[in-house]
Structure 1
Amino acid sequence: MENARTDTFLITGGCGYFGYRLAYSLHKKGAKVILFDTVPPIQEAPEDIVFVQGDIRDYVQVERAITGVDCVFHIASYGMSGREQLNHELIEAVNVQGTQNVLKACVEHGVSRLVYTSTFNVVFGGQVIENGDENLPYLPLHLHPDHYSRTKSLAEMAVLKANGTALKDSSRVLRTCALRPAGIYGPGEQRHLPRIVGYIEKGIFRFVYGEPSSLVEFVHVDNLVSAHELAAEALTVEKQHRSAGQAYFISDGRPVNNFEFFRPLVEGLGYPFPKLRLPISLIYFFAFLTEMIHHLIGPFYNFQPLLTRTEVYKTGVTHYFSMAKAKAELGYEPHEHNLDEVVQWFRCRGHGKKSGSSFLGRLLLDILFVAAFVAVVLSFLPVVGSR
């Protein structure tokens, strides 16, 4: 970034995996960086990276952190995967109200640039999308299969609508843009990869699902860092505010079958890759049953669902997007990465020993087949109210 040496950046959710990686990159370029999060960073941060502990749902805390900042990277969110997806109240408070707090604080305290980390999901709801671009309309809110995607859509809309808002006590205006990343991966990623490795090691990862031809996308954390830095730079007057009011899809630009993408991780840790392929409709039905069970017993035992319905769509239904706009307007050029460094990261931490399939793995597979049987039986029953 050309102007990173003189700018002060605030990163909401800055102590998470991606937020900290972005902070470290900005810091190396000479920028002043403030991390705003509910918990301190796991990694040992350089002394001149400032950590401000706070909750994005509390406007006073957001306002205190944002004072004197030149640009905000708004990364903080909640409800992306697993059991988090089922906590609707907290998802709404963080993703929608939290974003409103950030926008209000930017206007009140003269912050002229805001880059919002959005998601592919604002346009995707389980339908096939091949090489989609930013002209795709938002998925209607009532069609979103999960609350996270719905609230991220609302937040992105609010961020882009705020572009051009006059800043208080200033002749300047707020410039905003949104990045829509694919699934993030890289060594040390803490949200998805440990869960996948846990399934592998427990013997649960014994099948794949969906068509072999289905394609999805991923983005390496360093490519996503580069995209955010370029987006922030493109909001400046030196770059004619070219990214202002715009959204961009961001990925490695290499569509791939979800399970084939993870094959090097499975085999690199010494486990056989599953040969059993199940229909996506069966897995979706299983995820539905799991969510219903969680709804009933979640207040007493908040277990981690094997998969949610949204995760089934995300991993088994083709959806990938063009990088043309990001390349043309931001100068985004993703570097090629693979899972070798991820495999090495896990192996250095004691993962990768071969073991037989566990009782839990066999039990879950048995449950899947029971669910399939139930689904077949139900398909023969008359529909209530049918004629």
Structure 2
Amino acid sequence: MEEGNAAKERVLITGGGGYFGFRLGCAIYQKGVDVILFDVVKPLQTVPEGIKFMQGNICCLSEVEEALRDVICVFHIASYGMSGREQLNRKLIEDVNVKGTENVIQACRSRGVSSLVYTSTYNVIFGGQIIENGDESLPYLPLHLHPDHYSRTKSVAEMKVLEANGAELGNGRGVLRTCALRPAGIYGPGEQRHLPRIVSYIERGLFKFVYGDPLSLVEFVHVDNLVQAHVLASEALRASKQHIAAGQAYFISDGRPVNNFEFFRPLVEGLGYKFPTWRLPLSLVYFFAFLTEIVHFLVGRLYNFQPLLTRTEVYKTGVTHYFSMEKARKELGYEPQQYSLDEVVEWFRSQGCGAKARNYTTMQLVRDGGLLVVLIAVLVSWLPSAATFSL
């Protein structure tokens, strides 16, 4: 952010109650900029004095418009359906990711907000195909080929954000400048979406195998690198930077392709557990995930269990896809710093994790045993038509 008039600036972060949004808000506030965190839920952490939290829903246009009073830049991070059972709630995914984004764009125009930075995803390009050192010239994956609803809606939302670049603001206050960042999987101490789920599998003794080609490569991005990229992107939408980022998309990662399971080895071993040596074929794990989704489709209204893996998660963790950071380096000045999982391990240790796998309770044994019986029954009854089934 520019220092000269920083005291007069105010930015809003949708999804500001989440892990990354909160971290971004704190970093921007330290630069002397007024920050509003906008979310349906309050942050788990204590909001620092001087940062404002507004509880609201991006699915409600009037609430978004009210939050955008006197704001010059919006960081639109809020989304739904990224992982686990959330991926199977199609209606809420559509409402938040598409309709919510439309509301943000409309509110920016009506309130005269000049900059909009959208947090997108690798998934707008990736749908299970091998990509090695891809760049932003790659076309969007055709919408009907997306293996999950989250990826499809994020793709639609990104298109809408970039198409809104150059749109006239209300009352002749100039035009809206927009850009999109496509991050890899986020990690860092205190991350609440993916890492706790992985650790819970480890502690429950469920992390017994890896899968896919051991030479497959994916990418991750440390939360502080992603914060850096968002700040740089907002600056690159300004006149002082010739609006170089306007209408553009950028891949963002640590710039270090790595095998997914090897990336998490320090976490597994750092918490005192043995890293699995049993490797399964990707196709077998994908089929298991497919069956799990069928079970959730059939019984999810009665028992909304957490799938061990979804089909999209199998592809994202087991199929090579990584991208060049050249455009982000050249146009944004992005230079990712190098981090390890050491601080993540220490954070989990501070939460009492590690050392010994938790024993199953009787209820857990009944629950998982029951799910296994249902899974086998579904396999037997659905196998003849499984190839044509579509969720």
Q: Which amino acid aligns with 2:312?
A: T
For 1:344-372, what per-residue CA distance to the aligned partner results, in whole angstroms no more than 9, with x for missing partners?
Answer: 000011111223886979x979x99x989
Counterpart in the other structure of 1:191: 193
Q: Whole-Å Cα distance in 1 between the matches of residues 162 and 333 of structure 2?
A: 21
2:23 to 21, 32, 40: 21
Q: Which amino acid aligns with 1:333?
A: E
Normalised TM-score (structure 1): 0.93
Q: Whole-Å Cα distance in 2 between the matches of residues 49 and 174 of structure 1?
A: 25
Counterpart in the other structure of 1:151: 153
Judged with a 3 Å threshold, the aligned counterparts in structure 2 of structure 1 residues 256 and 292 are, in CA distance, closer, same or farther, namely same
Post-superposition offset of 1:40: 1.3
Q: Whole-Å Cα distance in 2 between the matches of residues 187 and 72 of structure 1?
A: 25
1:97 to 99, 102, 127: 99
Q: Whole-Å Cα distance in 1 between the matches of residues 94 and 62 of structure 2?
A: 19
Counterpart in the other structure of 2:216: 214
Structure 1: runs of 5+ lacking an equivalent: none
Judged with a 3 Å threshold, the aligned counterparts in structure 2 of structure 1 residues 103 and 355 are, in CA distance, closer, same or farther, namely closer
Counterpart in the other structure of 2:127: 125
Q: Whole-Å Cα distance in 1 between the matches of residues 357 and 192 of structure 2?
A: 23
For 1:243-285, what per-residue CA distance to the aligned partner results, in whole angstroms no more than 9, with x for missing partners?
Answer: 0000000000000000000000000000000010000100000
1:319 to 315, 318, 321: 321
1:336 to 335, 338, 349: 338
Counterpart in the other structure of 1:243: 245
Q: CA RMSD in A?
A: 2.8
Q: Whole-Å Cα distance in 1 between the matches of residues 173 and 109 of structure 2?
A: 12
CA contact (8 A) 1:128 1:317 kept: yes
For 1:298-346, what per-residue CA distance to the aligned partner results, in whole angstroms no more than 9, with x for missing partners?
Answer: 0011000000000000000000000000000000000000000000000
Judged with a 3 Å threshold, the aligned counterparts in structure 2 of structure 1 residues 6 and 202 are, in CA distance, closer, same or farther, namely same
Post-superposition offset of 1:5: 4.1
Q: Which amino acid aligns with 2:89?
A: N
CA contact (8 A) 2:291 2:379 kept: no
Most deviating of 170-179 and 339-348: 170-179
2:272 to 270, 273, 281: 270
Q: Whole-Å Cα distance in 2 between the matches of residues 92 and 379 of structure 1?
A: 30
Q: Whole-Å Cα distance in 1 between the matches of residues 109 and 340 of structure 2?
A: 41
Q: Which amino acid aligns with 1:346?
A: F
Q: Which amino acid aligns with 1:20?
A: F
CA contact (8 A) 1:120 1:181 kept: yes
1:336-375 alignment to 2 at 5 Å?
Answer: 336-355=338-357
Q: Whole-Å Cα distance in 2 between the matches of residues 272 and 171 of structure 1?
A: 60
Q: What percentage of aligned pairs have identical amino acids?
A: 69
Aligned length: 384
Query: Secondary structure at the residue paired with 2:137?
Result: coil
CA contact (8 A) 2:7 2:33 kept: yes
Counterpart in the other structure of 1:290: 292
Post-superposition offset of 1:42: 1.2
Q: Whole-Å Cα distance in 2 between the matches of residues 357 and 218 of structure 1?
A: 31
2:184 to 182, 185, 190: 182
CA contact (8 A) 1:282 1:371 kept: no
1:63 to 62, 65, 71: 65
CA contact (8 A) 1:126 1:313 kept: yes
Judged with a 3 Å threshold, the aligned counterparts in structure 2 of structure 1 residues 56 and 131 are, in CA distance, closer, same or farther, namely same
CA contact (8 A) 1:204 1:364 kept: no
Structure 2: runs of 5+ lacking an equivalent: none
Q: Whole-Å Cα distance in 1 between the matches of residues 214 and 6 of structure 2?
A: 44
Q: Whole-Å Cα distance in 1 between the matches of residues 384 and 101 of structure 2?
A: 47
Q: Whole-Å Cα distance in 2 between the matches of residues 37 and 106 of structure 1?
A: 17
Q: Whole-Å Cα distance in 2 between the matches of residues 316 and 364 of structure 1?
A: 25
